[in-house]
Every structure is written in C-alpha cells, then in structure tokens.
Amino acid sequence: MIENSFYIETYGCTSNKADSYIITNILINSGYAQATLEDAQFLIINTCAVKEQTENKIKERLKNLHELYHKLSDKYIIVAGCLPHITPNYIDVIEKTIPSFSAIIDLDNFKELPEIFDKIKLGNKNLIYKSRETIDKSQILISHPEGKITGIIPISEGCLGSCTYCCVKHARGKLNC
C-alpha cells in the first residue's frame, strides 16, 4: 500500500467521467498520487444509477470490495457518484451493501476530499457528506490523461427532470448551466 495514494473506478456517463477527472486533479494538486487498486490507500468508486443493470453491477462490486478489504485498517473505500443519492433513503442501501465504507460523498464535495481523507486517516468511518451548495464544475480545470484525443469539459450539471421514470434528477439535481 502506498501512503497518500488513490484509485478511482468510474461507472456511467460522461458527467461521471468528468467528475473523476476533477477528483483526480484535486487530489494530485493536494499531494496525493494515483495508484493501482492493489496499491492505493483510498479507493474511490464513482457510481452510476441510470440503469438497474448498472446499479446491480456496482452493488456487487461494492460487496466484493468489502469482502476483499474490510479487515485491512489502511485501505479506505469512498463511495461517490449518483447511486447513493437516487432516493432519499438509498444511502441506507449503500450502508448495508458495504458496511466497511469510509465515506459517502455527494456530487459537490470534491474540493473537500483532502480534508475528508484526513478525517478518515484519523480513524473516522462511515462518514456521510451532503453538500449544501452546488459547485460550478465548469470553473475547475481538468487535466486529461496524456495521449487522449478528446477531453470532457462540463458545461452544465443536472437535468430538466421531466422524465418520470428516471432517478438521475434526484442525484444530479435541476439543470444548472
């Protein structure tokens, strides 16, 4: 395990990929190093909930990570992305799926990650963060991996919320351009 290192696993849409790039930049600029799953101290699972098939795949992955790492005192799992926020009580589902989680963050807590990591290293567990305000992700510089031909630039967040069957509006909120 490499001290002050992180690994991000991203599921879902382009917005989640942009979020993972933002998280990576914030952590690297705060002195953290990106590492492999096996070597990382902090495992960030950036989740998706737009389809039930993906939701089930992620819940299975979280269970697997719990089984692999719950006995290790120096491996911390952070659940990010849409899945914990698709309904008001879905955080309870995540807590049952992966009882060993270190933190659940929402889509606007990225800048607080270094402080959250410090609290986790001090022994805090099962932290749940819900931001009171949304951040303007278009204002955050994203460094894309070298060799990429295209890049993601977030210009809006959320949705119009007119699809009655969709849960994304609960996780990402109202359209903010």
Q: How high is the pLDDT of residue 146?
A: 78
Domain layout of the chain by residue ranges? 2-130
Q: What is the pLDDT of residues 128-169, one digit of tens each?
A: 998 777 777 666 777 767 777 676 766 566 666 666 656 666
Q: Rounded to an integer, what distance in angstroms lies between the CA atom of residue 32 and that of residue 6?
A: 7
| CATH number for the domain whose boundaries are 2-130 | 3.40.50.12160
CB atoms within 10 A of CB 65: 21
Q: What is the pLDDT of residues 60-98, one digit of tens each?
A: 999 999 999 988 888 999 999 988 887 888 889 999 999
